[in-house]
Structure 1
Amino acid sequence: MRAGGSRPVLAGALAAIALLYLAWHWGDAHFGAALLVFVLPPLLLLAGVLRGAPSAPLWSGIAALFWFSHGVMYAWSQPEQGRFAWAGIALSLVVVFSASLPGMRARFSRKRGDA
């Protein structure tokens, strides 16, 4: 897989996170706020990834730290919402690893004498 090959995985994970939060907060009393806070950010990052913006993977990884923490908080405090929480945790990890993969490949593919 080439260095840019993780972008489709990242794009898919961002789309899945947006859909997850849409389903999670469907029918909430504060659905509009949930759209702004939880659904809009991954969609904006998805647009950046699809457009090829060089900073989009970085910001996706940073946002995934929030999504991961949010999922852990819900998995711990409200186990009845566990399937949404665990899906959010899993998808946030996919975002982090797919956003980081090109940099990790570049860093660790160097020969010992290149540094």
Structure 2
Amino acid sequence: MKSRVRDGVLGLALLALAALYGMWFRADRHLAAVLLVFVAPPLLLLAGVIARRAGARFWAGVLALFWFSHGVMSAWAHRELALYAWLEIGLSLLVIGLVSVPGVRARFARKTPR
């Protein structure tokens, strides 16, 4: 997968995560906190991915581990919100996979003999 395509899919996944959180917590009485803690980070990382900053991809991978953990906890503890939680799990795994591609590719690339 080419880096531009990978970054495009990563950007869409981050946008989808922000939209998911916006819908999930839309009726929360602490909406400002929800926007700051859940919606803003994926959108800021999306801006970094669009600007082609490597640090944004790294931090997207790091935060995706937290998003994955939050999704698993929510799916386990709140069965009535399982659809949101499973979408969060899937999107976070997609983000982790996309940001890991270059490292995995480099790790398993054939070494040229010296």
Same fold (TM over 0.5): yes
Q: Residue in 2 aligned with 1:109? A: 109
Q: How many residues were matched structurally? A: 114
Distance 2:60 2:24 in 1: 20
Q: Matched residues in 1 for 2:81 and 2:43: separation? A: 23
Structure 1 position 9, deviation (Å): 1.2
CA contact (8 A) 1:14 1:46 kept: yes
Q: TM-score, normalised by structure 2?
A: 0.93
The residue number in structure 1 matching 2:35 is 35
Moved more, 2-11 or 91-100: 2-11
Q: Is 1:2 matched up with 2:17? A: no
CA distance change for structure 1 residues 105 and 5 in 2, over 3 Å: closer, same or farther? farther
- The whole-number CA distance in structure 2 between the counterparts of 1:106 and 1:7 is 18
Aligned partner of 1:17 in structure 2 is 17
Unpaired segments ≥5 residues, structure 1: none
RMSD over aligned CA atoms reads 1.4
C-alpha displacement at 1:109, in angstroms?
1.9
Determine if the alignment matches structure 1 residue 73 to structure 2 residue 73: yes
Amino acid of the structure 1 residue aligned with 2:65 = L
Partners of 1:68 and 1:93 within 8 A in 2: yes
In 1, Cα distance between equivalents of 2:58 and 2:21: 21
Moved more, 1-10 or 51-60: 1-10
**Distance in 1 (alpha carbons) for counterparts of 2:63 and 2:86:** 17
- The separation in 2 between residues aligned to 1:52 and 1:15, in whole angstroms, is 16
Is the CA contact 1:17–1:42 (under 8 Å) kept in the aligned structure 2? yes
Q: TM-score, normalised by structure 1?
A: 0.92
What's 2:44 paired with?
44
Identity between Structure 1 and Structure 2 (%): 52
After alignment, is 4-13 or 105-114 more displaced? 105-114
Matching of residue 59 in structure 1 with residue 59 in structure 2: yes
State the alpha-carbon separation in 1 of the partners of residues 66 and 54 from structure 2. 21
Give the deviation of 1:6 after TM superposition.
1.3
User: What SS does structure 2 have at the residue aligned with 1:90?
Assistant: helix
Following the alignment from structure 1 to structure 2, what is the Cα–Cα distance between the partners of residues 2 and 40? 27
Structure 2 match to 1:83: 83
